[in-house]
């Protein structure tokens, strides 16, 4: 048995508090945990709100990548792409920023932005690299936390928040409407249209359109829209009309609008406008469709109204004020006999006349018209254009028209009196014009022209013509040689000195009052001329007999033609040759020098003359000459008396010619030929050749004589000479008195001369030769002209010969 022993106690000291043993290191995991939780909470808080958008398809949308943007700022990310329950659409779940989600209204619009290339430009280019994104558009609305949306296929025409007016356009077909087509107002883009859609009734197309503020103020109830797509060519009554819009409009179509008439009220949203094919139609529509309080009138026409149709304009002084409503015919038996009259009912727009569009206007217009009709206002048909067959009704004031009144009835519209139209028949006039053109002898003209050209060509191609320039060139060379000779060069100096001396003489003469004397002498000469003129008149009378005389002479010439003139001409030619040789001789060439010297002598004489009192003598001489002229006048008067006997003279001449006809001319010609031959021999003889030398010698002698004259008492001699001249003038005076008999002799001489001249008349060989010579000269001149032109064009040809 052992003593119970208390159990050994394991006594431990009081356990230290677990907190006291705790290491400070535990703070680190606590801090890490706190930070991690903070990050987790933050990312959860920033995760954003989830929304769901339903799309038709999810082209290009990638979960986790495709962003949502609002005003081009990322607001979220697509989380997942799933199908709707029935697989009919795609449901896209996205997280968007809380700040956006708080204000997201249920009408927010979402659409997928893709790269798009269209006629209006390229959009969404940034999405080519970054992929598509979803654009959101909404008007922020505090507290509206919508989460389910239906996405759009295309970008909306009007983004929420844009200001403007939404309207509806109605068109007969959608060909001119394409989605996104611009709307222009006076050339600037102010809006766009949306995708057009068919009306439920199927007979038209409507499209929503949006006009941006502030341009939407221009849209009123009186605005008209028209299509500007493409280009529009219209050949109408007003002529050719081509209108082209902008290039974008050309490709994509476009719509323009304008307010055609004043007035009009602001339009409410979704107001429906009609879309017209072109601007003209749109402007005209104001009259054709919207005359609310139109004043109806009736016009009756007697004539045909072909070309007039419903809708045709009614103009007043050129301004369109209305339109034709309807046309009809009725039988008019007022005047006893039945006639078919045509009746056109027209509407007049009060606004076009500047009146308010209300019921009061009608009465005003009726009053105005009835007053105007009394002043001559009438309706008549007029052509709409130059080539148009279309007619319109024109209201014109014709003061001289027959009196008429506006027919006002209770039941029918007032009847406006009409007058006959003056529509020109353009077609007939044009036809006449063409007929005239057709009748022109164009073919003959062309043939003539061709023949002329051919002649010119053959003439130009003549070898002789081409040879002419060379000959002319040689001629010019010789002429240059002649002109270049020293004597010829010296001539001008001498002449100049002579002229100077002569001028001094003339001055002396002027001082001496010679001119007055000369004038007196000229007066006398004038009187003489008058007398001669009267003589000529007499001669004219006498010439009436001349034709017969000419006949006779022609006979004579015929005989003369029969003579052997050729031989004679040969001789004459030989004579000319001899003369040519003579002229070419050295002695002849030396002549200029001699002449030169003689002129010098003459100058000396003139100077001496001036030194002496030659002038006074001359004056007295002139006086004598004047007296002589007076005598001549008297003679001419006598002559006038004598010419009265000219007819008798002509008779005598005729007889003479007859006698001459009988003469043995052949023998005469032979003798003449012999004479010419003799002359030829003479000219050809040495003596004749020596003649120039003799002439030279003679000139020398003359010169020496002149020198002697100078040395001797020339002046005295001259004085004596002048005295003799005066005596001679007196003698002339006397002689003139005996002129009548002289004139008779002259007459006979003239007769003979005429006879001779007849030989040179028409068709004579001489004439032909002369003509041919003249032609050659002409052709030569033309060739020269041509040469000159070619040289002018191409001066080098002188050097190169071409």
Among 93, 115, 124, 131, contact with another protein (rule: CB under 8 A): 131
Angle at 660 between CA 654 and CA 661, to 5 degrees: 90
In whole angstroms, the minimum distance from the beta carbon of 66 to another protein comes to 10
Q: Strand 319-332 and strand 313-316: pairing? A: antiparallel
Other CB atoms within 10 Å distance of the CB of residue 363: 10
- Residue placing its CB nearer to another protein in the complex, 39 or 495: 39
Produce one character per residue of 244-265: b if its CB has 16 or more CB atoms within 10 Å, e if not.
ebeebbeebbbbbbbbbbeeee
- Residue placing its CB nearer to another protein in the complex, 131 or 237: 131
Which window, 124-132, 670-678, 724-732, 757-765, contacts another protein (CB under 8 A)? 124-132
In whole angstroms, the minimum distance from the beta carbon of 32 to another protein comes to 4
Crossing angle for the helix pair 739-758 and 646-662, to the nearest 10 degrees: 40
Q: Going residue by residue from 721 to 750, which x/- string records binding to another protein, judged by CB under 8 A?
A: ------------------------------
- Residue placing its CB nearer to another protein in the complex, 38 or 408: 38
Q: Is 150 helix (H, G, I), strand (E, B) or coil?
A: strand
* Contact criterion met (CB below 8 Å) for 78 and 90: no
In whole angstroms, the minimum distance from the beta carbon of 67 to another protein comes to 10
Does residue 65 interact with another protein by CB under 8 A? yes
Among 26, 44, 409, 800, contact with another protein (rule: CB under 8 A): 26
Does residue 23 interact with another protein by CB under 8 A? yes
Q: Going residue by residue from 441 to 470, which x/- string records binding to another protein, judged by CB under 8 A?
A: ------------------------------
Does residue 39 interact with another protein by CB under 8 A? yes
Q: How far apart are CA 245 and CA 229, in angstroms?
A: 7
Does residue 28 interact with another protein by CB under 8 A? yes
Q: Which of 169, 159, 184 is nearest to 253 (CA)?
A: 184
- Residue placing its CB nearer to another protein in the complex, 41 or 231: 41
Dihedrals phi, psi of 94, to nearest 5 degrees: -140, 155
Does residue 129 interact with another protein by CB under 8 A? yes
In whole angstroms, the minimum distance from the beta carbon of 134 to another protein comes to 16
In whole angstroms, the minimum distance from the beta carbon of 104 to another protein comes to 24
Q: How far apart are CA 797 and CA 786, in angstroms?
A: 13
* Contact criterion met (CB below 8 Å) for 137 and 108: yes
- Residue placing its CB nearer to another protein in the complex, 128 or 611: 128
Does residue 31 interact with another protein by CB under 8 A? yes
Q: How far apart are CA 275 and CA 268, in angstroms?
A: 18
Those residues with Cβ within 8 angstroms of residue 1's Cβ, 6 or more apart along the chain or in another chain: none
In whole angstroms, the minimum distance from the beta carbon of 10 to another protein comes to 15
Q: Which of 487, 494, 490, 491 is nearest to 603 (CA)?
A: 494
Residue carrying the six token digits 């027209």: 346
- Residue placing its CB nearer to another protein in the complex, 29 or 399: 29
Report the site for another protein in 3-22 (rule: CB under 8 A): 21-22
Q: How far is CA 126 from CA 106, 132, 690, in A?
A: 28, 9, 119
Which window, 35-43, 256-264, 385-393, 693-701, contacts another protein (CB under 8 A)? 35-43
- Residue placing its CB nearer to another protein in the complex, 130 or 796: 130
Produce one character per residue of 114-138: b if its CB has 16 or more CB atoms within 10 Å, e if not.
beeeebbeeebeebeeeebbbbbbb
Does residue 385 interact with another protein by CB under 8 A? no
Which window, 29-37, 322-330, 396-404, 452-460, contacts another protein (CB under 8 A)? 29-37
Among 36, 186, 500, 537, contact with another protein (rule: CB under 8 A): 36
- Residue placing its CB nearer to another protein in the complex, 77 or 249: 77
In whole angstroms, the minimum distance from the beta carbon of 35 to another protein comes to 8
Which window, 36-44, 296-304, 600-608, 776-784, contacts another protein (CB under 8 A)? 36-44
Dihedral, CA atoms, 170, 171, 172, 175, nearest 10 degrees? -140
- Residue placing its CB nearer to another protein in the complex, 130 or 741: 130
Among 29, 143, 403, 795, contact with another protein (rule: CB under 8 A): 29
In whole angstroms, the minimum distance from the beta carbon of 47 to another protein comes to 13
- Residue placing its CB nearer to another protein in the complex, 129 or 437: 129
In whole angstroms, the minimum distance from the beta carbon of 29 to another protein comes to 4
Which window, 23-31, 155-163, 175-183, 490-498, contacts another protein (CB under 8 A)? 23-31
> How many residues at the interface with another protein, by CB under 8 A?
20
Does residue 33 interact with another protein by CB under 8 A? yes
* Contact criterion met (CB below 8 Å) for 557 and 758: yes
Which window, 37-45, 366-374, 538-546, 688-696, contacts another protein (CB under 8 A)? 37-45
DSSP 8-state symbol, 266: B
Produce one character per residue of 637-650: b if its CB has 16 or more CB atoms within 10 Å, e if not.
bbbbebbeebeebb
Angle at 30 between CA 29 and CA 33, to 5 degrees: 80
Residue carrying the six token digits 């020269």: 784
Residue carrying the six token digits 């003449």: 672
Does residue 46 interact with another protein by CB under 8 A? no
Q: Is 152 helix (H, G, I), strand (E, B) or coil?
A: strand
In whole angstroms, the minimum distance from the beta carbon of 110 to another protein comes to 21
* Contact criterion met (CB below 8 Å) for 277 and 285: no
Q: Strand 339-348 and strand 295-301: pairing? A: antiparallel
In whole angstroms, the minimum distance from the beta carbon of 112 to another protein comes to 17
- Residue placing its CB nearer to another protein in the complex, 131 or 180: 131
DSSP sequence for 375-398: TTEEEEEEESSSS---EEEEEEE-
Q: How far apart are CA 81 and CA 61, in angstroms?
A: 8
Q: How far apart are CA 664 and CA 13, in angstroms?
A: 203
Which window, 81-89, 129-137, 369-377, 761-769, contacts another protein (CB under 8 A)? 129-137
Does residue 130 interact with another protein by CB under 8 A? yes
Among 5, 15, 17, 25, contact with another protein (rule: CB under 8 A): 25
- Residue placing its CB nearer to another protein in the complex, 24 or 240: 24
- Residue placing its CB nearer to another protein in the complex, 28 or 576: 28
Q: How far apart are CA 182 and CA 118, in angstroms?
A: 12
Residue carrying the six token digits 């030569």: 780
In whole angstroms, the minimum distance from the beta carbon of 131 to another protein comes to 7
Residue carrying the six token digits 């341009």: 215
- Residue placing its CB nearer to another protein in the complex, 30 or 440: 30
Which window, 127-135, 171-179, 395-403, 616-624, contacts another protein (CB under 8 A)? 127-135
In whole angstroms, the minimum distance from the beta carbon of 41 to another protein comes to 12
- Residue placing its CB nearer to another protein in the complex, 35 or 233: 35
Those residues with Cβ within 8 angstroms of residue 725's Cβ, 6 or more apart along the chain or in another chain: 621, 624
Report the site for another protein in 138-157 (rule: CB under 8 A): none
Crossing angle for the helix pair 586-611 and 486-511, to the nearest 10 degrees: 20
Tell me whether residue 745 is exposed, middle or buried, using C-beta atoms within 10 angstroms of its C-beta: 0 to 12, 13 to 18, 19 or more.
exposed
Residues that bind another protein (CB under 8 A): 21-23, 25-29, 31-33, 35-36, 39-40, 43, 65, 129-131
């Amino acid at each position: 048995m052992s003593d119970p022993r208390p159990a050994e106690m394991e006594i431990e000291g009081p356990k230290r508090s677990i907190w006291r043993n705790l290491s400070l290191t535990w703070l680190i995991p606590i801090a890490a945990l706190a930070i991690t939780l903070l990050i987790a909470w933050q990312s959860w808080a920033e995760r954003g709100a989830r929304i769901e958008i339903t799309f038709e398809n999810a082209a290009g949308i990638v979960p986790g990548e495709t962003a949502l943007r609002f005003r081009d700022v990322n607001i979220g990310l697509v989380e997942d792409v799933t199908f709707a329950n029935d697989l009919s659409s795609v449901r896209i779940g996205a997280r968007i920023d809380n700040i956006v989600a708080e204000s997201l209204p249920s009408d927010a619009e979402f659409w997928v932005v893709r790269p798009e290339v269209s006629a209006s430009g390229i959009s969404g280019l940034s999405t080519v690299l970054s992929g598509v994104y979803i654009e959101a558009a909404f008007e922020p609305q505090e507290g509206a936390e919508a989460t389910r949306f239906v996405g759009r296929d295309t970008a909306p025409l009007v983004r929420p928040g844009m200001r403007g007016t939404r309207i509806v356009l109605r068109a007969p077909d959608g060909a001119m409407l394409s989605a996104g087509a611009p709307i222009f107002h006076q050339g600037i883009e102010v809006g766009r249209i949306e995708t057009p859609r068919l009306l439920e009734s199927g007979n038209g197309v409507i499209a929503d359109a949006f006009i941006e503020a502030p341009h939407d103020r221009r849209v009123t109830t009186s605005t008209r829209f028209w299509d500007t797509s493409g280009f529009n060519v219209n050949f109408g009554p007003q002529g050719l009309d081509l209108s082209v819009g902008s290039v974008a409009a050309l490709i994509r179509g476009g719509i323009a609008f304008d307010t055609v008439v004043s007035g009009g009220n602001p339009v409410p949203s979704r107001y429906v406008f009609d879309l017209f094919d072109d601007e003209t139609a749109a402007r005209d529509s104001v009259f054709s469709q919207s005359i609310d309080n139109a004043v109806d009138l009736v016009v009756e026409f007697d004539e045909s109204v072909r070309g007039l149709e419903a809708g045709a304009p009614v103009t007043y002084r050129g301004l369109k004020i209305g339109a034709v409503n309807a046309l009809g015919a009725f039988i008019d038996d007022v005047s006893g006999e039945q006639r078919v009259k045509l009746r056109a009912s027209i509407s007049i727009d009060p606004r076009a006349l500047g009146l308010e569009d209300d019921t009061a206007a009608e009465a005003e217009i009726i009053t105005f018209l009835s007053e105007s009709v009394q002043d001559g206002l009438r309706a008549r048909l007029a052509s709409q254009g130059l080539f148009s067959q279309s007619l319109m009704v024109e209201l014109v004031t014709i003061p001289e028209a027959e009196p008429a009144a506006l027919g006002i009835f209770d039941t029918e519209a007032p009847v406006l009196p009409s007058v006959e139209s003056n529509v020109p028949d353009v077609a007939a006039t044009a036809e006449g014009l063409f007929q005239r053109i057709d009748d022109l002898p164009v073919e003959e003209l062309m043939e003539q022209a061709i023949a002329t050209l051919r002649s010119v060509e053959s003439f130009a191609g003549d070898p002789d013509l081409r040879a002419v320039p060379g000959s002319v060139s040689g001629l010019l060379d010789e002429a240059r040689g002649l002109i270049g000779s020293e004597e010829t060069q010296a001539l001008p100096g001498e002449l100049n000195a002579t002229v100077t001396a002569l001028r001094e003489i003339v001055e002396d003469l002027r001082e001496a009052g010679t001119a007055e004397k000369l004038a007196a002498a000229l007066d006398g000469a004038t009187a003489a001329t008058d007398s001669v003129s009267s003589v000529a008149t007499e001669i004219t009378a006498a010439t009436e007999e001349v034709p017969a005389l000419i006949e006779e002479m022609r006979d004579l010439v015929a005989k003369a033609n029969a003579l052997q003139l050729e031989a004679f001409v040969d001789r004459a030619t030989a004579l000319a040759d001899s003369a040519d040789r003579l002229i070419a001789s050295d002695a002849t060439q030396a002549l200029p020098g001699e002449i030169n010297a003689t002129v010098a002598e003459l100058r000396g004489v003139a100077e001496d003359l001036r030194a002496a009192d030659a002038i006074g003598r001359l004056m007295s001489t002139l006086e004598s000459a004047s007296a002589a002229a007076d005598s001549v006048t008297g003679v001419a008067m006598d002559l006038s008396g004598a010419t009265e006997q000219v007819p008798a003279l002509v008779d005598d001449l005729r007889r003479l010619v007859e006698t001459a006809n009988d003469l043995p001319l052949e023998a005469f010609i032979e003798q003449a030929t012999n004479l010419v031959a003799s002359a030829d021999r003479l000219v050809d003889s040495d003596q004749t050749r020596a003649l120039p030398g003799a002439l030279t010698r003679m000139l020398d002698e003359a010169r020496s004589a002149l020198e002697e004259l100078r040395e001797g008492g020339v002046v005295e001699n001259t004085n004596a000479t002048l005295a003799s001249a005066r005596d001679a003038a007196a003698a002339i005076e006397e002689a003139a008195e005996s002129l009548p008999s002289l004139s008779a002799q002259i007459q006979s001489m003239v007769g003979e001369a005429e006879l001779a001249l007849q030989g040179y008349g028409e068709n004579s060989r001489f004439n032909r030769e002369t003509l041919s010579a003249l032609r050659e000269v002409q052709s030569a001149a033309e060739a020269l002209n041509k040469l000159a032109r070619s040289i002018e064009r191409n001066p080098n040809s002188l050097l190169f010969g071409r």
